[in-house]
Structure 1
Amino acid sequence: MVKEGTTDDGAKRGHSGEAVTITAVTTVAPALPVQEHRLALSNLDLILPPIDVGVFFCYADAGAGAAAVLKAALAKMLVAYYPLAGEVVANTDGEPELLCSGRGVDVAEATAGDAEMRDLRLGFPDESVEQLVPKKKAGVVSVQVTKFRCGGAVVGCTFDHRVCDAYSFNMFLLAWAAAARGGPAPPSPSFRRSLLAPRHHPTPPCTTGTLADRLFVPVSRAPPLPETTAANRIYRIAAADVAALQAAAGPGRTKLEAFTAHLWGLHAEAASRRRISSCCMGVVVDGRSRLHGDMATYFGNVLSIPYGVLGSEELRRMELAEVAGEVHRWVAEAAKGEHFRELVEWVEARRPEPTVARAYLGRGEGGEEATACVVSSGMRLAVGEVDFGWGTPAFASYHFPWPGGAGYVMPMPSARGDGDWVVYVHVAPEVVEAMEEEPTVFRALEMAGCLAGNEMVAPSAAAPTYAN
């Protein structure tokens, strides 16, 4: 069911000065009515701050009826994914919870004027992607479909991170795409909060000194976020560079651990330029496979954020294998079912006070200023399956210019399926400088190369110079 409306957004200034104009906004409700009810967020949802995450997909030729196809399929999928058609409200204790009202999802239709998709400078999302991913004003999810003169389209989505993590939203994206193609429906999502219920009702002294207590802190005890500035970039990393990092990291190290170790070293280089003595690095860990066997379709957040702190000069002297060993140590400590069960109980003992991950605070162990970053993997997103009926995307990436004290980096598979990575980067400007000065790994991106099947192209004369 859809409700047509108008918008007062007007024109948003896009890449190269072109205007991205919202032409219509439709509220798409579930195809079947939803009996209004409330759905509690789990204790692992409650560790997330009220932030939105964006993801977008670029299609070379989407056809004239792209928006209509998307809206019809969305209405069907919101029957199974009914919480996405609701709203986040406060319960009597002031905690967020879901009002499953069938309100619907706002879908904006937009045009990019005379712009060609090939002219998108994807490497600089502030001047390109920012206008193609919607700002969510209400509800849990917002969608924007932007058509280009060349026939291409960008489908951008923004979702409330308190309601779901990237794994969950990926489930929805794949189901939505399958519905648009007329393909078989994937397994329905599970909203069984009992899967993440505490085993008992602990008190704070029973949970003090645990790993959860080291990784998270009640908001009342958290230091204020430092004054920071950040640069937003999207890079490509060649499969050969990923493999080389993993080989240098030593046996038994994952690609993500090797990448995180390399990124940690770059933060040490940036810290030395600002005379900052500490570097904090965190990794988002998914707990689904560490908990119940039936968590594969669970919709919600099942995350923890372990981290480590090292001195910047110490980091600069360490070999990549040593740094990767540090990453592996604290990631492995958190990647256990017992830690996630402990975290559920740690939150329970402190409710209704909100909590926050220490890795997000941008501080060292003693509260000192630190260069800080959190790596969140989007590698499970099957980009090639996000096909709404007009082919696989030429390019896709997350978009997450968040307000935390730490930087945020999100790798995901290249849409080409060749082992390359696409990496969204929201970090301090001096970290970007360190990335772009190294001889390999972080490569420039342009849309023209994506459409030609080669995501990296030489920078234009107007673009900053990247080392290759």
Structure 2
Amino acid sequence: MEIEIEVVSNETIKPSSPTPESLRKYQLSFLDQIAPPIFMPLVYFYPADAKFSSPEKSNHLKKSLSQVLSRFYPLAGQLIDDLYVDCNDEGAPYVEAVANCSLSQVVTNPIPKNMDKFLPYKVDEVQNLGMAVQVTYFQCGGTAVGVLISHKIADALSLFLVANTWAAVARNGNYDDVPSPKFEGAKIFPPRDAAGFKPSTGIVKEQLVTKIFTFPASKISALQERYSGGTAELPQRRPSRVEALSAFIWTRFISATQMKADPNKIYTVHHAVNLRTRLDPPLSEYHFGNISRLAIAMPSVGVDGGSELLQKVREAIRAVDGEYVAQLRQGDKHLNFLKERMAQANKGELVTFNFTSLCRFPLYEADFGWGKPVWVGSAGLVYKNLVTFIDTAAGNGIEAWINLKKEDMEKFEADLELQEFL
């Protein structure tokens, strides 16, 4: 059955109190400047709740969002180039819609391309907005809350901070006991003249396919065991769940697409790393903005069954240390490196595979007053060779949201060894 959504209202939610003139100009940090111009998407799905009618839920969500926007004031402003946010209290677009189906028809064997229907914009239609929301009501009385936040202003941890703060304010009816965000990004990572670097490098319009591959806990454990031994030259401690899955998916991708090492190409595997805990002194989770970067490993192609990649990823993540952060704060060296990589990408010399993990993040904490979500989804993104790891609702397995070119996906999902672990 084709899922259809009908928009029933369109409005803009403004902050509940005006932003002081002294805070009108929110300076982007260096890490915000180089972040891609896309939305980060999350869709929370909630079962019916007899205590709340749809109009009551609607008023509840709008009132609490207005309060939250007064604290997260950059999200209600307009992005000006890659420089700053004009915190003009314009507000966040808020769409309400009805679906022609029940909640269970969406969350049972979910299809990523359907997630776009529960979001007010496509992920690459970021314009100059900070945030946008769509609330969709199902025939069964269930609700979907779709949240988009600009990656130019925030990273994944900040997205969860906004969503969970909004839920807490809605649930409690006020801002008491909810910590305020800290806006210190530009002080920690001062902005630079980033002329010549295009943050949109890597965004592709070609036909991409996103599919969800769910790995149960028992199979993940078997993969952790597989990669525990390593080799005599590269002994391994037992890998984490994400390390083991990354090594497995990379090796299956290389095998399925029959990729052969080309001396004229550079092969890189990226892992997103939260920098808050790596600064001295460390920052709290309430520090808002882009405070994460990529650890870059350069594995050999087709050499082994994943142990070498594991070792190189660990080394790359270890290298995101105090010295790395100090260079990042200085900015120029990192900017030159990015420009060099951009040139290689534009010439087709760079083959990248990206992993980002939302495992152990507070994904299922967003209770707006009618219980925790039964499922949380993302959406199809605009980067090829991108894997996002998300805990399953039960918390023991992992969903891998994998973005590949159409022809690569056909080969990858037909891989027999991959199928054994699903």
Q: TM-score scaled by structure 2?
A: 0.83
Is contact 1:269–1:312 with CA below 8 Å preserved after alignment?
no
Q: Report how far residue 175 of structure 1 moved.
A: 0.9
Select the residue among 353, 374, 398 that pairs with 1:394: 374
Is contact 2:95–2:135 with CA below 8 Å preserved after alignment?
yes
1:83 corresponds to 2:74 = yes
Q: How does 1:130-209 map to 2 (within 5 A)?
A: 130-135=116-121, 139-182=129-172, 184-193=176-185, 195-197=187-189
Q: Report how far residue 40 of structure 1 moved.
A: 0.6
CA change 1:392–1:434 in 2 (3 A) is farther
Q: How does 1:340-379 map to 2 (within 5 A)?
A: 340-347=325-332, 358=341, 363=345, 367-368=348-349, 370=351, 372-379=352-359
RMSD: 3.4
| Structure 2 counterpart SS, 1:134 | coil
Q: Partners in 2 of 1:322 and 1:354 — Cα distance? A: 24
CA change 1:195–1:249 in 2 (3 A) is farther
Give 1:268's aligned amino acid. I
Question: Which residue of 1 is the match for residue 239 of structure 2?
Answer: 253
Give 1:118's aligned amino acid. S
Deviation larger for 29-38 or 224-233: 224-233
1:233 corresponds to 2:211 = yes
Q: Partners in 1 of 2:200 and 2:369 — Cα distance? A: 47
Q: Report how far residue 194 of structure 1 moved.
A: 5.5
CA change 1:102–1:239 in 2 (3 A) is same
1:306 corresponds to 2:295 = yes
Q: Partners in 1 of 2:339 and 2:149 — Cα distance? A: 19
1:72 corresponds to 2:34 = no
Question: Which residue of 2 is the match for residue 207 of structure 1?
Answer: none
CA change 1:400–1:190 in 2 (3 A) is farther
CA change 1:397–1:423 in 2 (3 A) is farther
| Structure 2 counterpart SS, 1:374 | strand
User: Residues 141-188 of structure 1: CA distance to partner in whole angstroms, max 9, x if unpaired?
Assistant: 000011110111111111110100000111111111111111753321
Unpaired runs of at least 5, structure 2: 229-236
Is contact 2:299–2:309 with CA below 8 Å preserved after alignment?
no
Question: Which residue of 2 is the match for residue 337 of structure 1?
Answer: 322
Select the residue among 48, 51, 54 that pairs with 2:41: 54
Give 1:419's aligned amino acid. N
Q: Partners in 2 of 1:158 and 1:414 — Cα distance? A: 21
Give 1:40's aligned amino acid. Q
Is contact 1:270–1:430 with CA below 8 Å preserved after alignment?
no
Q: Report how far residue 248 of structure 1 moved.
A: 2.3
Is contact 2:209–2:403 with CA below 8 Å preserved after alignment?
yes
Question: Which residue of 1 is the match for residue 404 of structure 2?
Answer: 427
Q: Report how far residue 239 of structure 1 moved.
A: 1.9
Question: Which residue of 2 is the match for residue 119 of structure 1?
Answer: 105
Identity across matched positions, percent: 23
CA change 1:61–1:232 in 2 (3 A) is same
Give 1:387's aligned amino acid. D
Give 2:404's aligned amino acid. V
Q: Partners in 2 of 1:242 and 1:17 — Cα distance? A: 33
Deviation larger for 221-230 or 183-192: 221-230
Give 1:286's aligned amino acid. N
CA change 1:23–1:362 in 2 (3 A) is farther
CA change 1:49–1:171 in 2 (3 A) is same
CA change 1:134–1:224 in 2 (3 A) is closer
CA change 1:434–1:293 in 2 (3 A) is farther
Q: Partners in 2 of 1:141 and 1:227 — Cα distance? A: 23
CA change 1:33–1:122 in 2 (3 A) is farther
Unpaired runs of at least 5, structure 1: 1-15, 204-215, 444-466
Is contact 2:37–2:199 with CA below 8 Å preserved after alignment?
no
Q: Partners in 1 of 2:239 and 2:359 — Cα distance? A: 16
